[in-house]
Amino acid sequence: MTAAARICTIVLGALAMLGSHPEGAAAGENAAPTPVIERDLTIRDREVRTSLFSNGVLVVSARRAGERVLYQQLTLPADQFSGYLAAIQRDASELAGADELPTAIGSGGRGIVTVHIAPGGPIQFTYSSMSVYSLAATRLIAILDDLEQQALTALTTGAGVASWQPRVGDVVRLRGGPLAEVVEVREDGAVLLEHRDTYINELVPPGEIRNVVVEIVKSSQ
C-alpha cells in the first residue's frame, strides 16, 4: 500500500469514528459537531484551552486568574483538517495500544490532552514541559501547539495598533493574552517589553512589534 493510500485509509477511518454518513451529505451537515481533540494547558496562572471539532472549527480560549483574556475561533481548510485528522488518529491508535498513558512529572507547564477519536473510545493523558514522552504523545502535543499557534496568528489587531508609536510606559496586550509594559525603545527601533505577570523582559526586534501586539491597553501620552 502506498503512503497516499495509507493516509486515505486513516482519514476515512477517522471520519467513520466521527459519525459521518456516506449515504448522504445531509445527515452529516445536520449533525452537531463533536470534539476531535482537546487540551487544557496551565502555565503559572494562565490556562489555555485548545479544541478541534469534527466540522474543522478550531477554538482557542485563555484565562488568567479565572478571567477570560482571549477567545479565538477559525475554520481550517478541508485539506488541512483532513491532514490533522489522519495524524491524530494514527497517534491515538498507537497510544490506545500502549501499556501505559503518559503522566505529568515534574514542574513546568502542565497539559491535559483528551483524544475523542481513539479506537475504543476517548483517551486522556497528562504531560509536563519538563519530561520526555513517547513519539505518539509527542506528536499529538506538537499538533496541539501548532493548532494553538495558528489561532493566535490569526488574531486581528485592535484599533490604533497599526499607527502606534511605542513609548516608555505604554501597556499593551500581546498575542496569547499577556500584558506587557514598554520599558525601553532603542535607537534601532527594537522595543524592550516587561511582562506584567512574570516581570520577564522580552526584546522585540526592529519592525516586529506590531506582529506581537494586538491591543494598546494604556498609552503613556
pLDDT by 10s per residue, the chain, length 221: 443 344 344 444 444 445 444 333 344 556 789 999 999 998 877 888 999 999 999 999 888 777 776 778 889 999 999 999 999 999 999 998 887 787 877 655 689 999 999 998 999 998 887 777 889 999 999 999 999 988 877 766 666 787 889 999 999 988 767 889 999 999 999 999 999 888 889 898 888 888 788 888 888 77
Please give the full DSSP string across 156-177, using - where no structure is assigned: PPPTTTTT----TT-EEEETTS
Nearest C-alpha neighbor of 15 from the set 64, 88, 70: 88
pTM over 0.75: no
The answer as to whether 213 is a domain residue is: yes
Q: Looking at the DSSP assignment, which residues form a beta bridge with residue 128?
A: 110
The answer as to whether 146 is a domain residue is: yes
122 and 199 belong to one structural domain: no
The answer as to whether 158 is a domain residue is: no
16 and 78 belong to one structural domain: yes
Nearest C-alpha neighbor of 104 from the set 129, 132, 127: 127
178 and 140 belong to one structural domain: no
CATH of the domain at 127: 3.30.1560
The answer as to whether 21 is a domain residue is: yes
185 and 116 belong to one structural domain: no
Nearest C-alpha neighbor of 117 from the set 140, 135, 98: 140
91 and 184 belong to one structural domain: no
User: Environment class of residue 185 by beta-carbon count within 10 Å: exposed (0-12), middle (13-18) or buried (19+)?
Assistant: middle
Please tell me the total count of domains within the chain.
2
Rounded CA-CA distance 55/77 in Å is 10
Q: Which residue type sits at 69?
A: V
Range of the domain at 200: 171-218
Rounded CA-CA distance 93/119 in Å is 6
Q: Looking at the DSSP assignment, which residues form a beta bridge with residue 200?
A: none
For the stretch 126-130, contacts whose Cβ atoms lie closer than 8 Å and that sit 24 or more positions apart, written own/partner, are 126/102, 127/102, 127/103, 128/104, 130/105, 130/106
3-state secondary structure of 193: strand
99 and 185 belong to one structural domain: no
113 and 21 belong to one structural domain: yes
